[in-house]
Amino acid sequence: MERVETFWSKYVFSLDHKVIGIQYMITSLLFLLFGFSLVLLMRWQLAYPGHPIPLIGRFLPDFIAAGGIMHPAAYNTLGAMHGTIMIFLGIVPLGVGAFGNYILPLQIGARDMAFPRINMLSYWNYFAGGVLMLMSFVLPGGAAQSGWTSYAPLSIVSPGQTVWLIAMTFLITSSLLGSINFIVTTLNLRAPGLTFSRLPLFVWAQFITAIILLFAFPVLQAAAILQLLDRVAGTSFYLPTDLIVGGNILDNAGGGSVLLWQHLFWFLAHPEVYVLLLPAMGIVAEILANGTRKPIFGYKEIAGSFAFIAFLSFIVWAHHMFVSGLKTKLSYLFMTTTMIISVPSVAILTCFLLSLKGASIRYRLPMLFALAFLPLFGIGGLTGLPLGFTPTDVYLHDTYYVIGHFHYVVVTGSMIALMGGIYYWFPKMFGRKMNEKWGHVHFWGTVIAMNGVFFPMFIQGMAGVQRRLYDPTVQAHNLAVQPLNILMTASAFILLLFQIPFIWNFFHSIFKGEKTEENPWQATTLEWACPSPPLPHRNFDKEPVVRRGPYEYSVPGRGEDFWPQDKP
């Protein structure tokens, strides 16, 4: 039965996973840009503490920057919201919501997700949560200012946290609805012949990520509800007895534990970082196989490593709590599990590197991003080791070293991979290619500028510069490395500049890009076996039948260097 499509049902409340995927993509890219601009304000403050913010300083309200000079509480707000927005409104919706939604059904040969209406609800919950987060800036009390980690008791007595907690509820709901969809779709809607051992690694990554989210997020929801009640209902889940705030003893009944929040929070937040990583690694696998014209080295090992990482990610969380008063023996335990979890990560990177051996590399744009991922994620991963190792972490915890580490893995790691994914799948989504020349400009500028922003952080961290510090010059030992802040701030602004060609390229190419055929990259996986863009609500003309593995490139004896999964 032909459904009558209105503008609203076709573009706004669509049930088609492809439309929803694009909605996620554009929304998340906008949030990433917004979160980035927040940190630019912070970077100005760090490079020139106490100096008025140029150009826009006089337009900012007094409680943010009186006379253009940033207020310390505003700095904390920017920090907390930057983290929250980049993680929950940026990277996860892009990696999971956008790419997962768009590509997963295509790669398994399905017509849509198992639950299209829940898919739509998932996007709108995300949207609602995002809007609420943004609105929190202008609501009474302002936005959250206790770090994205929202540690008690600061988060309970500080303004702005209530809306954060409510917005997180929408975001967690969105995530859980998405997880259910991804898990059931991957289990139930695979095309005939598509066994688990023939799944593209991108699908493995998304499936395992959905499982992580399913088990981890509800615990944060529980923790957030308890924190909300502490704030508004006078409970004391996280408030110890007779806590003194601002010189007065708190009225609450007490008896709670601040460490309870930390344990519950990190029970989610550690697996969450693998949620940031796995989809990106899946994308790199796809692009590498395609760009090297070889099967990925170690398919089973990579899939197994994804699963092993997911399992281990639930038992390493307290490496974020080494200085919280954990006794040595328990620290040993978490240090051990953390060291172990580095093994599958290294295994995956090694397999990716070995995939390059003997390859006939096509240096197209997506491949550039995938190649850049390898050494940059390597740096991120290696710098995690001193943090997982308790004796060194005691020194490095809460310094800029940590910030350098996680930005390397998430920004120069995941974000680079996600950008590569955009260039790679853009032709499938819009039937046109993005402009190569501007893509090169974007690529080189981005990679160089990113390193300029984040590499000096390791130096600062080792010098002892603390994080979440509004004015680094108040501590004498920071002065020697303070000039690095100017380099980092300049690099950050340059990084912003180099995103302009990307933004222009993206939107311009949707309408005016060079038209392309079904399979412009000559790839083997199923998403390339349907029109570009795929048929609305159907994707494939006929249901594909899968006859071989996902990366049958350069098969000896065949004329072409690629053998699509579904061709006879």
**For residue 210, how far is the Cα from the chain centroid?**
14
Q: Is 151 in the site for another protein (CB under 8 A)?
A: no
User: Out of 30, 134, 259, 340, which residue is the one contacting another protein (CB under 8 A)?
Assistant: 259
* Residue span 309-338 as binding mask against another protein, x where in contact by CB under 8 A, dash where not: -----xx--------xxxx-xx-xx-----
DSSP-assigned beta bridge partners for residue 22:
none
Residue 18: name the closest of 451, 426, 479 by CA. Answer: 426
Segment near another protein (CB under 8 A), from 85-93, 172-180, 293-301, 373-381?
Answer: 172-180
- Nearer Cβ to another protein (213/368): 213
What span, in angstroms and rounded, lies between the C-alpha atoms of 150 and 142? 15
Q: Is 252 in the site for another protein (CB under 8 A)?
A: yes
User: Out of 50, 67, 141, 192, which residue is the one contacting another protein (CB under 8 A)?
Assistant: 192
How much helix, strand and coil, in percent to the nearest 5, is found in the chain?
70, 5, 30
Least CB distance to another protein at residue 326 (A): 6
Q: Is 225 in the site for another protein (CB under 8 A)?
A: yes
Segment near another protein (CB under 8 A), from 42-50, 64-72, 213-221, 281-289?
Answer: 213-221
Q: Is 215 in the site for another protein (CB under 8 A)?
A: yes
Least CB distance to another protein at residue 257 (A): 6
Residue 399: phi and psi, rounded to 5, are -105, 175
* Tokens linked to 485: 């802040």
Q: Is 72 in the site for another protein (CB under 8 A)?
A: no
Is the Cβ–Cβ distance between 366 and 423 less than 8 Å?
yes
User: Out of 222, 249, 382, 555, which residue is the one contacting another protein (CB under 8 A)?
Assistant: 222
- What would the DSSP string read from start to end of 42-106? HHHHHHSTTPPPTTTGGGS-HHHHETTEEPHHHHHHHHHHHHHIIIIIIIHIIIIIIIIHHHHHH
Return the SS3 of 535: strand
User: Out of 264, 303, 368, 526, which residue is the one contacting another protein (CB under 8 A)?
Assistant: 264
Least CB distance to another protein at residue 219 (A): 4
- Nearer Cβ to another protein (341/449): 341
The tally of CA atoms less than 13 A away on the side-chain side of residue 473 is: 12
Scored b (16 or more CB within 10 A) or e, 165-201 reads: bbbbbbbbbbbbbbbbbbbebbeebbbeebeeebbbb
Q: Is 542 in the site for another protein (CB under 8 A)?
A: no
Residues of this chain that interact with another protein (CB under 8 A) are: 114-115, 118, 176, 179-181, 183-184, 187-190, 192-193, 195-196, 211, 214-223, 225-226, 229, 233-237, 241, 252-257, 259-260, 263-264, 267, 314-315, 324-327, 329-330, 332-333, 545-546
